[in-house]
Amino acid sequence: MTVTTQDGTQLHVEDSGGAGRPVVLIHGWPLSGESWAAQVPALRDAGVRVITYDRRGFGRSDTPETGYDYDTLAADLHDLMEQLDLRDASLVGFSMGGGEVARYLSRYGADRVRSVVFASAVPPYLAKTEENPDGPLDEEQAQEMLTALQVDRHAFFDDFTTQFLTADGTLAVDREVQQEAFRQATESDQTAAVECMKAWATTDFRADLAAVTVPTLVIHGDADALVPFEGSGKRTHAAIEGSRLHVIAGGPHGVPISHTYEWNDAVGSFLAD
């Protein structure tokens, strides 16, 4: 099915249906909703209605020239929530998707939201600046990634998805699993990939986190080399009063894929409350 956003962009949506509470899974960069393949059946079997969608510019969604800032991406999520009339919903944002969760709550409130999960997520603020010295991504690193993506996207995506699933120098999954992530990455639109990289690398979510008042789980791998726990998940947990924290030992960035059982168990238990 599709959801049409306020600017006419069509988002590809997968809805498991059912009478259970809705759980919206928001994928990371540069993947698509297909990256939740190990989560959808487990959550559906637990009795919830699972909804995934492809962010604009990724997977099977439209690829407009504009709209890759977090205000627009949060508006896309809002349109999905409204058009599907989702209530008492849980929002699970992985990596870049955690930014959409934070911005959605700060702009649209929690009337439709029961709980949220920040999974290996980019908040509160990745960029290392003078006034954000704990940001784990310095300007030189960010520029190197952007240049590599612009010069040879296939080589970049192959390396990035390898790092995505690597912990302490060792690939944590079979090579075939990494290649599936690579396939999803290469299906992204180049404008979307570039502009979304700029967005997640530079957007400050610290004020947005102040609007998060619903029950919250922060789940993160302690061997995440792309979005390090110390500079992201740990700070998000500290910023949201009463939030729960689950750290996956030896987990790389892509823990929903590499540590599926532990991730599904921790998130499923939280969502069941």
Instruction: Give catalytic residues, as residue numbers.
Output: 95, 224, 253
Give the CA count within 13 Å in the CB-facing half-sphere of 191: 10
Pairing of strands 10-15, 2-4: antiparallel
Handedness of CA 53, 56, 62, 63 (dihedral sign): negative
Torsion angles phi and psi, residue 167, rounded to 5: -125, 125
Apex CA 67: angle with CA 51 and CA 100, to 5°?
45
Alpha carbons 48 and 40: distance in angstroms, whole number: 10
Instruction: Look up tokens 């619903």; give the residue.
Output: 214
What are the b/e assignments for 239-257, b being 16+ CB within 10 Å?
A: bbeebbbbbbeebbbbbbb
255/30 Cα distance (integer angstroms)? 15
Cα(47)–Cα(51) distance, rounded to whole angstroms? Answer: 13
Residue 55 Ramachandran class (φ > 0 left, ψ -120 to 50 alpha, else beta)? beta
Kind and range of the H or E element at 269? helix 260-272
Count Cα atoms within 13 angstroms, Cβ side, for 233: 29
**Alpha carbon distance, N-terminus to C-terminus of the chain:** 29
Q: 127: which strand partners?
A: 137
